[in-house]
């Protein structure tokens, strides 16, 4: 097996112009697929060819994309008990978090060949499967160690602290699954490694939490339905009895007429939602969401704006709770 240092020395020299190498057709006895993940790129210049080779190799892992949060266009701000602020567009959709970037740190450009006739440059990128698997195994060990204190916090009397731990365990579980998927690529013959199911413990804890909700100014009930839906999306159960609830939620709704402009009646709605642990007085979230809408009929304008702001509230609440969990120690 070619050492990383020797491979780099070879790649750093002038491109080979000899016989067309077998790896251009993605099969090479020198770089067997059972030992390496390969990527091939070609371009008019060497730098572009090498970049394309790395990108070609990375496409093997494309199905395991990085965690992104798709943003809702809303006039929203989120504040936590630690004073952190998340303004503007609040993320609402949690996708699979990937470890691909870490895996690809081991990619090397090991061969470069220039076609003597076309002058096209071809580059070969390789990833040593054994080394990549070792890095992923180490990542799994680190995830398990990081999850232990979080699991211990699920038994605490501080419900807000337990909630933060549970939400962070969701992330641990998603990353653990992503690492296992990456291992399935670099070491396809290896049986899956048994792991602790973090998500099950976290979901069980959250399912036991109850929330009492009080709301003011919602004449039609549309905002209340949205708040309940947002809390349910985060895994909570809303109960009417505030005395027995683990968390207390309070929401206020206001609608303001902005007048007639160009034949349209405009209205603005504002919704504030707060969630608190009554035992410790810790504020979990404090979300403010605004929306504007218009109609040719004055009364219809209010209805439309309440519907719009409700849709945003439903999405903002689970995103705000996730942001709060990230801000916790």
Domain ranges in the chain with CATH number 3.10.28: 4-64+106-129
pLDDT in tens, the chain (329 residues): 445 444 544 445 566 667 899 999 878 889 999 999 999 999 999 999 999 999 999 888 875 444 333 333 333 333 334 333 333 333 333 333 345 677 788 899 999 999 999 999 999 999 999 999 999 999 999 998 999 999 999 988 888 899 999 988 988 888 888 888 888 889 988 887 666 677 788 888 888 888 999 999 988 899 999 999 999 888 888 877 666 788 999 999 999 999 999 999 999 999 999 999 988 888 999 999 999 999 999 889 999 999 999 999 999 999 999 888 888 87
Question: What gap in Å lies between CA 79 and CA 87, rounded to an integer?
Answer: 9
Residue 261 bridge partners (DSSP) = 264
- Chain mean position to CA 250: 28
Instruction: Tell me what pLDDT residue 99 has.
Output: 57
What does the pLDDT read at residue 206?
A: 87
Kindly report the CATH class assigned to 209-322.
Answer: alpha beta
Residues linked to residue 15 through DSSP beta bridges, in sequence order:
none
Instruction: Mark out the alpha helices in 125-261 (DSSP H runs).
Output: 129-153, 159-186, 198-208, 222-233
Per DSSP, the three-state class of 129 is helix
**Residues of each domain in the chain carrying CATH 3.30.160.150:** 209-322
Angle between helices 159-186 and 198-208 (to 10 degrees): 160
| pTM greater than 0.75 (yes/no) | no
Task: Please count the CA atoms within 13 angstroms of the CA of 201 that sit on its side-chain side.
Answer: 20
Q: What is the predicted pLDDT for the residue at 196?
A: 67
Distances (CA, A) of 173 to 24, 43, 144, 176, 327: 39, 40, 10, 5, 19
Q: Where are the alpha helices (DSSP H) in 116-158?
A: 129-153
CA–CA separation, 318 vs 313, rounded Å? 9
Q: φ, ψ for residue 284 (rounded to 5)?
A: -80, -50
Domain over 4-64+106-129 is classified CATH 3.10.28: yes
CA–CA dist 139, 142 (Å, integer):
5
Contact criterion met (CB below 8 Å) for 283 and 80: yes
Q: CA dist 59 to 27, 63, 86, 101, 174, Å?
A: 17, 8, 33, 12, 21
Give the separation between CA 214 and CA 212, rounded to whole angstroms: 7
Beta bridge partners of 76: 88, 289
Please report the pLDDT score of residue 270 as a whole number: 97
Give, as one character, the DSSP assignment of residue 81: T
């Amino acid at each position: 097996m070619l050492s990383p240092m020797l491979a780099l020395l070879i790649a750093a020299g002038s491109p080979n112009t000899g016989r067309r190498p077998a790896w251009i057709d993605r099969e090479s006895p020198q770089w067997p697929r059972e030992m390496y993940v390969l990527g091939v790129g070609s371009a008019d210049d060497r730098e572009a060819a090498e970049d394309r080779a790395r990108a070609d190799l990375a496409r093997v892992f494309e199905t395991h994309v990085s965690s992104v949060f798709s943003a809702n266009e809303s006039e929203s701000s989120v504040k936590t008990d630690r004073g952190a602020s998340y303004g503007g567009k609040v993320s609402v959709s949690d996708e699979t978090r990937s470890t691909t970037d870490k895996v690809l740190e081991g990619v090397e450009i090991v061969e470069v060949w220039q076609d003597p006739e076309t002058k096209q440059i071809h580059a070969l990128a390789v990833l040593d499967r054994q080394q990549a698997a070792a890095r992923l195994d180490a990542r799994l060990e680190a995830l398990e160690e990081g999850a232990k204190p979080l699991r211990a916090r699920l038994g605490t009397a501080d419900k807000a602290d337990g909630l933060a731990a549970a939400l962070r365990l969701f992330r641990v579980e998603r990353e653990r699954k992503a690492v296992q998927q990456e291992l399935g690529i670099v070491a396809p013959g290896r049986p899956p490694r048994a792991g602790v199911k973090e998500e099950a413990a976290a979901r069980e804890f959250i399912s036991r939490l109850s929330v009492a909700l009080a709301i003011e100014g919602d004449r039609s009930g549309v905002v209340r339905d949205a708040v309940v839906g947002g809390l349910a999306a985060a895994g909570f159960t809303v109960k009417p009895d505030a005395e027995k609830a683990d968390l207390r939620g309070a929401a206020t709704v206001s609608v303001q007429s902005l007048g007639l402009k160009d034949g349209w009646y405009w209205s603005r709605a504002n919704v504030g939602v707060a969630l608190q642990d009554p035992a410790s007085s810790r504020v979990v979230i404090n979300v403010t969401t605004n929306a504007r809408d218009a109609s040719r009929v004055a009364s219809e304008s209010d209805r439309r704006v309440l519907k719009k702001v409700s849709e945003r509230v439903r999405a903002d609440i689970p995103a705000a709770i996730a942001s709060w969990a990230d801000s916790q120690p």
